[in-house]
């Protein structure tokens, strides 16, 4: 049955993390942080926009560029309508995180990326650093900084995450990280204390955390950030390194930007347990790399019309066929599957079609004067978990009177993006290897 909704601008892209938990609370099994939208005035990456809907256009461009990191072998030119050649924000992940390194703690703003593992920051003395407005971390000022030798287990762990480590004449473990937009970071692997701040003034410290001290960093990084904080599933990610203290659990709840509450939530440990009425769970499937969180998408439905998500030719569903990523805005699907889905959605919406600049999205409509229209019920059928999407999960408003389908054809691989995840409590249990979803009002949860 179709439902009537009023739509507004929706663009979950980058968030600024400010931590709101004390050390004593963390020791009891859980803590929660605020997630502030990248384009919020509170974000250190926020810049004034002359057009109010430029945010969603920027987010769409970032979304497609971010996807190239997951599927680097794909030829994206034809299917993405040259979007990847458009100007993009110089980060790959979708969160900005405030944390500290060293003793005494040195504050850093880093891109928190669920699609990578390594934590790294620009360090002095820097041979070739990109322009950074904040001071660079100087490891010589930290009493707990220690470089890692090539023979160490930590060096081997980094190699499995970034794909390339090196050794210099002093046998110090080095790294060479290459990202989807051809940005690179090179430096030394070290251990030091990572500290997460707190609004109470107390701090949560994690000694001997493995991270990269970058001395040569090039590409499209933003001058207001220093490096990346990996939150993927690999052994050197922040989530994995603090995993014993949080029981391998983290969760987030992304609010629609139209709400009066500007912050979303990211929780760890017992604060990240997702349960209760309406909760559904689906397995995390092992992949070629432990970094990405792979789920099994069995089908999608538009109203009563179901489309099976099968492998070409054999009619079977492949395990681990879609990446869930809070750092990708849109949901990206194979071209044939997307075409069938789009056609069915279009057949059930009786409004004037519209086009958007640069063909960023394919299925767009002119809104009526009251800004409402009939949206068919779209259901995502994961293995063991059916998610019914709301209007703000399925459509984004790209101008005063135009809304577009928040799904896009992609030539290689699939990603379940963050627009589709809004107003779901999404919990990752890395011990049970499950992702759980619970439909909630994220303005009141966590």
What average pLDDT is seen over the chain? 78
Write down the pLDDT at residue 87.
20
281 and 209 housed in the same domain: no
Structural domains of the chain, count = 2
In a domain, 225, yes or no: yes
243 — pLDDT class (breaks 50, 70, 90): confident
In a domain, 98, yes or no: yes
202 and 290 housed in the same domain: no
In a domain, 269, yes or no: no
Query: What percentage of residues in the chain have a pLDDT greater than 90?
Result: 41
Query: What percentage of residues in the chain have a pLDDT greater than 70?
Result: 73
In a domain, 35, yes or no: yes
Write down the pLDDT at residue 110.
85
| More confident: 196 or 47 | 196
Cα within 13 Å of Cα(165), Cβ side: 26
419 and 315 housed in the same domain: yes
| More confident: 438 or 291 | 438
In a domain, 3, yes or no: no
SS (H, E, C) 295-353: ECEEEEEECCEEEECCCCCCCCCCCCCEEECCCCCCEEEEHHHHHHHHHHHHHHCCCCE
Exactly one of 188, 192, 325, 429 is catalytic; name it.
Answer: 325
**Catalytic residue check, 117:** no
Q: Are strands 331-334 and 407-410 parallel, antiparallel or unpaired?
A: parallel
Mean pLDDT over residues 22-50, rounded?
50
Write down the pLDDT at residue 432.
95
Per the structure, the complete domain to which residue 197 belongs is given by 15-252
Q: How many Cβ atoms from other residues are within 10 Å of residue 245's Cβ?
A: 16
**Catalytic residue check, 325:** yes
Calculate the alpha carbon distances from 191 to 54, 91, 152 in Å.
40, 24, 12
Q: Are strands 415-416 and 407-410 parallel, antiparallel or unpaired?
A: unpaired
83 and 227 housed in the same domain: yes
Torsion over CA: 130, 134, 136, 137 (sign)? negative
Q: How far is Cα of residue 45 from the mean position of the Cα atoms in its chain?
A: 16
114 and 224 housed in the same domain: yes
Write down the pLDDT at residue 11.
31
284 and 413 housed in the same domain: yes
248 and 279 housed in the same domain: no
Phi first, then psi, for residue 135 (nearest 5°) are -60, 150
Domain limit, last residue, from 201, 221, 252: 252
Write down the pLDDT at residue 175.
93
pLDDT above 80 (res 247): yes
Q: Whole-angstrom Cα distance, residue 51 to residue 250? A: 35
pLDDT above 80 (res 55): no
In a domain, 444, yes or no: no
pLDDT above 80 (res 169): no
Tens-place pLDDT, residues 310-350: 865 567 889 999 999 887 788 999 999 999 999 999 999 98
Q: Whole-angstrom Cα distance, residue 16 to residue 96? A: 4
Tens-place pLDDT, residues 396-446: 888 888 889 999 998 878 999 988 999 999 999 999 999 999 999 988 865
Write down the pLDDT at residue 216.
94
Which residue has tokens 């984004």? 396
128 and 94 housed in the same domain: yes
Tens-place pLDDT, residues 101-131: 999 999 988 887 777 899 999 999 998 999 9
Domain limit, last residue, from 222, 252, 282: 252
Write down the pLDDT at residue 44.
56
Write down the pLDDT at residue 431.
93
In a domain, 259, yes or no: no
64 and 177 housed in the same domain: yes
In a domain, 86, yes or no: yes
CATH number at residue 280: 2.40.70.10
Q: Whole-angstrom Cα distance, residue 423 to residue 377? A: 16
Tens-place pLDDT, residues 346-358: 999 988 898 876 6
220 and 104 housed in the same domain: yes
Q: Which of 12-16, 221-225, 395-399, 400-404 is predicted least confidently?
A: 12-16
Exactly one of 34, 113, 181, 188 is catalytic; name it.
Answer: 113
210 and 296 housed in the same domain: no
290 and 221 housed in the same domain: no
């Amino acid at each position: 049955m179709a439902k009537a909704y009023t739509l507004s601008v929706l663009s979950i892209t980058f968030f600024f993390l400010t931590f709101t938990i004390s050390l004593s609370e963390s020791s009891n099994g859980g803590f929660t942080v605020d997630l502030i939208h990248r384009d919020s005035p509170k974000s250190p990456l926020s810049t004034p926009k002359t057009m109010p809907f430029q945010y969603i256009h920027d987010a769409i461009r970032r979304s497609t560029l971010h996807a190239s990191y997951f599927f680097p072998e794909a030829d994206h030119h034809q299917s993405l309508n040259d979007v990847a050649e458009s100007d993009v924000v110089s980060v790959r992940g979708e969160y900005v995180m405030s944390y500290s390194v060293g003793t005494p703690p040195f504050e850093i703003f880093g891109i928190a990326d669920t699609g990578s593992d390594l934590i790294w920051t620009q360090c002095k003395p820097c041979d070739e650093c990109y322009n950074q407005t904040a001071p660079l971390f100087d490891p010589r000022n930290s009493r707990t900084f220690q470089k890692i030798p090539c023979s160490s287990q930590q060096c081997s762990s980094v190699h499995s995450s970034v794909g390339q480590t090196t050794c210099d004449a002093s046998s110090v473990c080095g790294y060479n990280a290459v990202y989807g937009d051809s940005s690179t970071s090179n430096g030394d692997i070290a251990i030091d204390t990572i500290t997460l701040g707190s609004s109470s003034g107390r701090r949560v410290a994690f000694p001997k955390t493995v991270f990269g001290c970058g001395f040569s960093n090039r590409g499209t990084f933003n001058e207001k950030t220093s490096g990346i904080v990996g939150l993927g599933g690999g052994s050197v990610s922040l989530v994995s390194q603090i995993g014993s203290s949080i029981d391998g659990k983290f969760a987030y709840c992304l609010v629609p930007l139209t709400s009066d509450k500007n912050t979303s939530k990211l929780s760890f440990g017992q604060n990240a347990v997702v349960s209760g009425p309406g909760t559904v769970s689906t397995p995390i499937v092992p992949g070629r790399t432990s970094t990405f969180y792979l789920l099994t998408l069995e089908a999608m439905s538009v109203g009563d019309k179901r489309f099976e998500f099968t492998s070409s030719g054999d009619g079977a569903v492949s395990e681990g066929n879609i990446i869930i990523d809070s750092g990708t805005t849109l949901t990206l699907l194979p071209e044939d599957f997307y075409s069938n889905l789009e056609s069915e959605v279009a057949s059930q919406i009786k409004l004037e079609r519209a086009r958007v600049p640069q063909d960023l999205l394919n299925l767009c409509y002119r809104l009526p004067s009251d800004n409402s229209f009939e949206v068919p019920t779209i259901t995502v059928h994961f293995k063991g978990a059916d998610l019914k999407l709301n209007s703000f999960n399925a459509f984004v408003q790209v101008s005063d009177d135009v809304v577009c389908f928040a799904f896009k054809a992609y030539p290689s691989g699939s990603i379940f993006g963050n627009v589709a995840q809004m107003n779901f409590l999404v919990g990752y249990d890395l011990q049970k290897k499950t992702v759980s979803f619970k439909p909630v009002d994220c303005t009141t949860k966590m």
